[in-house]
Structure 1
Amino acid sequence: MIARRCSGGKKGPTIAVSGPPGSGKTTYARRLAEDLGLQYYSAGMIFREVAREQGVSIEELNRIAAEDPSIDLEIDSRTLEIGCRGGVVLEGHLVAWVLGGVADVRIYVTAPLEVRIKRIAMRENRPLADVYRETVAREYMHWRRFLDYYGIDVNNLQIFNLVLDTEPLSVEEAYAVIKTYTCRLLAKKGFRLEACSR
């Protein structure tokens, strides 16, 4: 298990945005980082970096990772390292759990499965049945992996400061909730971000 503590001081807040595929987490995390003047990272970016370093495709690294837990542990370790620097918004299905107490704000965005499947199918121009199979399998793997590696049930959302169902809201409405909440919580924790006062 990786330690969820930082050895040095952070340079600014660390915000974790998690949620299942098709929830909108990437959209909101990118925009939050841009608006608040923070760096943006995703678990996907870190995964691609590891694939490049190993000289394999993303698909190949996925196959290797299914058999070799050290790949996921390396990605988690790098995620923690980035979170410990501060001044960052990190996004990914599992990043909030990886960052543990390192994150100053932990946001979980979600939507009903059928809504998320439609969003992904539309975005990727793929058949609903294929997206459904792939998404359900992916979510099960994430749940199983964290239970096996860390003893953490990712269906338990108690670690989050904000849990938001994006289905009944427009992108703008959901983002307004996320930004307002994030700014208020950061202010309570002593962070003064100029973008939050605008």
Structure 2
Amino acid sequence: MNNSLVIAVSGLHGAGRSTQARMIASAFNLRYVSAGSLFREYCKQEHLNLAEASEKLKNDPKLDNYIDSRTKEEALKGSVVLEGDLVAWMAGELAEVKIFLTASDKVRFKRLAKREGKSIEEVARETLQREANDRLRYSQFYGIEFQNLNIYDIVLNTDRLPTDSVFRVLKTLIDEYAKLKTKQSSE
């Protein structure tokens, strides 16, 4: 297996992107780097709690710039699965495989409520507000329309598939890209 692979996994909250990104990293012996972990790394360095950092995000691109530059650094190192909202955009051509996972609001909110131990109504309200804020920020700071899925190699709805089935679909796709990359590099 070609270990210089760079794979970008994005998608809607609650669609399974973190789970799938970790599974891919493990299966292909790649590093796993999430935008969320880079966010927490920044907060620790700047002595900010998560609420302060989230508020700061609304008007100050410094945190976004940090996450973006660290994402690009990790992509340049290779052998990595990047996971987060904008990782496919930030990794650009360095990412051989760009994956977007989606699910219906009903399924996403149910999954998130179970994971976070909150009511579906509370999770729905929080998630929709967060996603609206994020999309506005992505549009204003980057000119990126998050709903534009043209940059992705695969867009997969995870509503009706169990986790292991989603993984098998993604693994097949990545295997094919890896074979193609190996073939091209040997020519």
2:67 pairs with 1:75:
yes
CA offset at residue 77 of structure 1?
A: 1.1
Q: How many equivalent residue pairs?
A: 182
Q: Secondary structure at the match of 1:138?
A: helix
Q: Secondary structure at the match of 1:15?
A: strand
Q: Secondary structure at the match of 1:21?
A: coil
2:105 pairs with 1:113:
yes
Task: Verify the 8 A CA contact 1:25 1:109 in the aligned structure 2.
Answer: yes
Q: Secondary structure at the match of 2:4?
A: coil
CA offset at residue 58 of structure 1?
A: 1.7
CA offset at residue 67 of structure 1?
A: 2.4
What is the 5 A alignment of 1:13-92? 13-92=5-84
User: One-letter code of the match for 2:66?
Assistant: E
Q: Deviations over 1:50-93 (max 9, x none)?
A: 00100121222112222211111111111111111100001112
Alignment counterpart, residue 170 of structure 1, candidates 134, 152, 162: 162
Alignment counterpart, residue 92 of structure 2, candidates 100, 106, 131: 100
Q: Secondary structure at the match of 1:108?
A: strand
RMSD over aligned CA atoms reads 1.5
Distance in 2 (alpha carbons) for counterparts of 1:162 and 1:122: 27
Deviates more, 1:172-181 or 1:55-64: 55-64
User: One-letter code of the match for 1:23?
Assistant: A
Structure 1 length normalisation: TM-score? Answer: 0.88
Task: Verify the 8 A CA contact 2:20 2:167 in the aligned structure 1.
Answer: yes
Task: Verify the 8 A CA contact 1:108 1:163 in the aligned structure 2.
Answer: yes
Distance in 2 (alpha carbons) for counterparts of 1:39 and 1:61: 26
Distance in 1 (alpha carbons) for counterparts of 2:156 and 2:162: 12
The unaligned stretches of length 5 or more in structure 2 are none
Query: Equivalent pairs: percent with the same residue?
Result: 40
